[in-house]
Amino acid sequence: MKETMWIYVLILLLSETRSVESERRNKDFSNGSDANLTCSNKMWNETFYVIWKIKLINKTLCEINFDSYGRNSDTCNDGKSLRNTSSAQPYLHIPKFSEDDVGIYTCEFAYRGGSTNCEIHVNITVTPEIKAWIEHKDNTMVAVCRAENGNPAASISWNYAQNSSVEQLPGINGLFTVESRLELPEDMDPKNLSCIISHQNLNKTVLLEFQKGKADSPWLYALIAGIIISFVAGVLFSVVMKRRQHQQSDTSSSKSPPIEDVEEVEPYASYVQRVNSIYN
C-alpha cells in the first residue's frame, strides 16, 4: 500500500493541473446515530487512494485506507468502514456513534488532478433531560427549570425575565447540566409562567407549563413537629414505665420471707411427737 501511495504522489507531482486543498471543520453527531464523514466530493472512479487517520480520546492512532486497486487496510477494528454513496462518492461510516468515537479524523484523499487533506474534529451531541418544578423558600415561590446531562449545554430563558439566574452544574461523563431559578412575585400565578429550553438536538423549543403549587402552611410544620414530639414523648414514657415496673418487681422479691426447707423441719417435728407420747 505504501509503495502504491508513493507512485500516486509522483503522478500528482508530475501532473500539470495539480491542486491541493486543505480543510478543517467540526462535526457533531447524535448519540446512537449512524455517522458518515466525507473528505472530498470526487467520485470513486477518479480516486487514487483514501487514507483516514483516526485519533480517538481513549485510543491510540489507527488507520483505515483504500486504493483504486482494491487493496485496503484497517488497524482500528471497531466497526468503522469505507463505503460509497449511490453516486459512488467515498465516505467513512461510523455505526451507532457514541462517546468512544469522539476524536480527530484526518483524511488524505488523492484523485486525478489533485488531492484533499481535511481534519475533522468530531464530537457527540446528547439531548438533555428536562425537569421543572416550584420550590418554596423563605415565604417566596421559586420556579426551577433544569436541563440535565446534555451536550452541548442547553440554554434556558423565561417568558417572565425578572430576578432569574442561570448556573451550570457538574454533569456526568463530561456532559453539561444547566439550571435556571426564578423568584416569583407574591401576586403571580405560576400558570402564567413558562421556561424555554433550547438545544441543537431538539426539533423545537420546549415550553414547560407550570401548575400552581400549594404554599407550605406554617400549621403544617407545627403539626409535623407536634407528631414528632408526641412520638418521642411516648417512647420515653414507655421506657420509664418499664423501668419502674422492673424496680418494683425487684423490691417485692427482696421483702418476701424465706421458704424453709421441708426436709429440715420434719426431723424436729418427729422428735416433739415422740416426747409428747412418752409423757402421755
Class of domain 2-124: mainly beta
pLDDT band at 203 (very low <50, low <70, confident <90, very high): low
pLDDT tens, residue by residue, 21-72: 889 999 999 989 999 999 988 888 889 999 999 999 888 999 999 988 888 9
Q: Is 60 exceeded by the pLDDT of residue 8?
A: no
Q: If DSSP states are collapsed to H, E and C, what string results for the chain?
A: CHHHHHHHHHHHHHCCCCEEEEEEEEEEEECCCCEEECCCCCCHHHEEEEEEEEEECCCCCEEEEEECCCCEEECCCCCCEEEECCCCCEEEEECCCCHHHCEEEEEEEEECCEEEEEEEEEEEEECCEEEEEEEEECCEEEEEEEEEEEECCCEEEECCCCCEEEEEEECCCCCEEEEEEEECCCCCCHHHCEEEEECCCCCCCEEEECCCCCCCCHHHHHHHHHHHHHHHHHHHHHHHHHHHHHHHHHHHHHHCCCCCCHHHHHHHHHHHHHHHHHHC
Q: Residue 49's pLDDT is what?
A: 93
- Domain range summary for the chain, segments of one domain joined by +: 2-124, 129-209
| % of the chain surpassing 70 pLDDT | 74
Average pLDDT over the chain, rounded to an integer: 80
Global pTM reads 0.60
- The CATH T-level fold of domain 129-209 is Immunoglobulin-like (2.60.40)
Average pLDDT (135-145) is 86
Same fold, 2-124 and 129-209: yes
Q: Residue 181's pLDDT is what?
A: 92
Q: Residue 45's pLDDT is what?
A: 87
Q: Residue 179's pLDDT is what?
A: 95
pLDDT tens, residue by residue, 94-137: 999 998 999 999 999 999 888 999 999 999 999 999 998 888 88
Q: Residue 62's pLDDT is what?
A: 96
pLDDT tens, residue by residue, 260-279: 554 454 555 555 555 555 55
